[in-house]
Structure 1
Amino acid sequence: MDLLPLRYFQAVARHEHISRAAAELRVSQPSLSRTIARLEKELGVPLFDRQGRQIRLNRFGSAFLTRVDRALAELDDGRQELSDAVGLVRGSVAVATETLLTLSGALVGFRAEHPDVDVRLYQSSATAMLQRLRRGEVDLCLSSQPVDDPALETAEVLREEVLLAVPREHPLASRTSVGIAEIAEEPFITTSGDFWQRELTDRLFAAVGRRANIVCESDEPAASAFLVSLGLGVGLVPEMASRYDVAPLVFLHVDAPGCERVLSYVWRRDAYSSAAARRFREHTTETLRREARS
């Protein structure tokens, strides 16, 4: 069986939309439709249910997609393993993270040392980035939340304190530390539910029998400090954010157990880890730890 129809099928199954898949693959819609039709004829079963212009992966398609994903991933891993074995300096690595700001400094250094390695970054919520990893769309995830999955391998990068950011003119700005109960009525800025800041906020407030007075939530963790600087409220930020002099903020220690962020790399146990992915993980881990000590 030709592999190209299988890759076309993967794209159509992912989008469940012929025109979007065709745009991604850079082929014409009629050509893509004919390829899928020939594949279905070869297999002897329809892979999609069609209603007008709408297509949906059916039970045959879902079962076949599982096998196709596994087979193509093995072939891609084999090709990469052979490239690594002959010492090719070129390569690629795809990484998902909850916020791009965490990796920005380390990425600059990595690209300077390895200019021929293609690096692709994806910003996703915790759930979405792990789904990308399981589908084989990324090689690594940089997670700020615990990952409990026996199919995934994790390696801790660093632990850092999480601080409370307040505007400089805020009444708490003269303090060095604060308890959760003291800020129970404060307007709170945080992220939506699938990001680490929200999980930590909810957990800390629940521990004292309260709920945070959330007035603003977003899907961009790095935006919290900026929104606090505008006087819209207070919020939790990682210690590394306090090293960037980008906003008129004061950072307070939080008197609560477990007020920390644990950064970890996550990758699939059953997938080949390319030389580029391994070096990216090593380089960025070393850089982030060095930045944390400075």
Structure 2
Amino acid sequence: MDLLQLRYFQAVARYEHISRAAEELRVAQPSLSRTIARLEADLGMPLFDRQGRRIRLNQHGAMFLRHVDRALRELDDGCRALRDARDTGLGRVGVASETLLTVTHLLGGFRAAYPSADVRLHQSNVREMDRRLRVGEVDFCVASQPLTGANLASVELAREEVLLAVPPGHRLDGRESVTIAELADEPFVTTRPGNWQRALLDRLFAAEGLTPQLSCEGDEPGASQDMISAGLGIGLIPTISRLSGTETRVPVAWVRVAAPDCHRVLTLVWNREAYLSEAALKFREFTMSRPFMGHRVPGGRDSL
């Protein structure tokens, strides 16, 4: 067993698809398949269930993957620590967020304060954020949905109301508030499953025993307001969008939703066991020491 085999196994386990993993690793599919087969032979048991050309990580593979992720993260952390000791800069900090609008001003302010820091931003849904954090691809996630794990620490950054946006002239234009039941037949512009807007929409409707009608599912939450303004449906939009000035460019009407917990909670999440560069430590301090989206970070104590 060698390091290359573990890297290859991690990629195949992530995609559960030989050709996609081979494309990412930039190796030939037959070579990748042979490497996985040798690893399984060394371990004395299969790590994947194979059905024709499809593969699925089995229970033994899932167990092994947890240890491989931990081992490779430790090695990567060691390499980063050596690079930081060698370099004169602050090192690298990686941040993942579901929407870029959420962290634009934060990262801009951090770069201005620490120009020598190497900042990397990744737009990811909650499942991808969890994976990136677990394998050490990012140092922090600015999450709109809960990320849980024994080694994860978090602090709440902001709590904001989520409003209903409707096209100008819509029947709800001018209403102060609306119930979920009144929206049962309305077409919604939203994101695909895995993003916070979709999770909130599904949760609010499920609480009323309803299923939302969807007119558009996308991967870019920032485009929702444009589609709503164009009359393609209605949608749930965070308060930050209303305050960001986009209303002058993309006009919509705003209505409050008469439902409990119609809000978004933003948290900063990190792996307490992972190595943090000087840049990452400065980023955490910077984020927790000033208002985030106009909100003061409550407290500053970590929570699991």
The TM-score with structure 2 as length reference comes to 0.75
- Aligned counterparts, 1:100-179, within 5 A: 100-179=100-179
Cα distance in structure 2, aligned partners of 1:44 and 1:261: 45
Report the alpha carbon displacement of residue 258 of structure 1 after superposing the two structures with TM.
Answer: 0.5
Report the alpha carbon displacement of residue 119 of structure 1 after superposing the two structures with TM.
Answer: 2.1
**Which residue does the alignment assign to 1:252?**
255
> Secondary structure of 1:172's match?
coil
Instruction: Report the AA paired with residue 175 of structure 2.
Output: R
CA 261–5 in structure 1, closer or farther in 2 if over 3 Å, else same: same
Unaligned runs of 5+ in 2: 297-304
Deviation per CA, 1:261-280, whole angstroms, max 9, x where unpaired? 00012222322232222322
Report the alpha carbon displacement of residue 69 of structure 1 after superposing the two structures with TM.
Answer: 3.5
Report the alpha carbon displacement of residue 177 of structure 1 after superposing the two structures with TM.
Answer: 2.3
**Which residue does the alignment assign to 2:300?**
none
Cα distance in structure 2, aligned partners of 1:250 and 1:70: 48
**Which residue does the alignment assign to 1:89?**
89
Cα distance in structure 2, aligned partners of 1:254 and 1:65: 43
- For the Cα contact (< 8 Å) 1:191–1:219, is it kept in 2? yes
Counterpart of 1:265 (choices 268, 272, 288) is: 268
The TM-score with structure 1 as length reference comes to 0.78
Instruction: Report the AA paired with residue 240 of structure 1.
Output: I
Report the alpha carbon displacement of residue 237 of structure 1 after superposing the two structures with TM.
Answer: 0.6
CA 286–241 in structure 1, closer or farther in 2 if over 3 Å, else same: farther
Counterpart of 1:281 (choices 277, 284, 292) is: 284
Report the alpha carbon displacement of residue 10 of structure 1 after superposing the two structures with TM.
Answer: 5.1
Report the alpha carbon displacement of residue 11 of structure 1 after superposing the two structures with TM.
Answer: 5.3
Cα distance in structure 1, aligned partners of 2:112 and 2:23: 32
Cα distance in structure 1, aligned partners of 2:157 and 2:295: 11
Cα distance in structure 1, aligned partners of 2:110 and 2:23: 31
Report the alpha carbon displacement of residue 99 of structure 1 after superposing the two structures with TM.
Answer: 1.4
Instruction: Report the AA paired with residue 94 of structure 1.
Output: G
Unaligned runs of 5+ in 1: none
Instruction: Report the AA paired with residue 260 of structure 2.
Output: P
Deviation per CA, 1:139-174, whole angstroms, max 9, x where unpaired? 222211123332322211110010111122223222
- For the Cα contact (< 8 Å) 2:158–2:293, is it kept in 1? no
**Which residue does the alignment assign to 2:229?**
229
Deviation per CA, 1:225-253, whole angstroms, max 9, x where unpaired? 11111111111111101123231112222
Cα distance in structure 2, aligned partners of 1:130 and 1:44: 27
Identify the range of structure 1 (227-236 vs 178-187) with the bigger mean alpha-carbon deviation. Answer: 178-187
- For the Cα contact (< 8 Å) 1:47–1:57, is it kept in 2? no
**Which residue does the alignment assign to 1:201?**
201
Cα distance in structure 1, aligned partners of 2:292 and 2:128: 26
Identify the range of structure 1 (258-267 vs 211-220) with the bigger mean alpha-carbon deviation. Answer: 211-220
**Identical counterparts, % of pairs:** 52
Instruction: Report the AA paired with residue 270 of structure 1.
Output: E
> Secondary structure of 2:281's match?
helix
CA 181–54 in structure 1, closer or farther in 2 if over 3 Å, else same: closer
Cα distance in structure 2, aligned partners of 1:44 and 1:145: 37
> Secondary structure of 1:276's match?
helix
Cα distance in structure 1, aligned partners of 2:162 and 2:8: 45
Cα distance in structure 1, aligned partners of 2:14 and 2:237: 35
Work out the number of aligned pairs and report it.
292
CA 16–224 in structure 1, closer or farther in 2 if over 3 Å, else same: closer
Report the alpha carbon displacement of residue 109 of structure 1 after superposing the two structures with TM.
Answer: 2.0
CA 124–288 in structure 1, closer or farther in 2 if over 3 Å, else same: farther
User: Aligned-pair RMSD on alpha carbons?
Assistant: 3.8
Cα distance in structure 1, aligned partners of 2:11 and 2:214: 39
CA 180–9 in structure 1, closer or farther in 2 if over 3 Å, else same: closer
> Secondary structure of 2:292's match?
helix
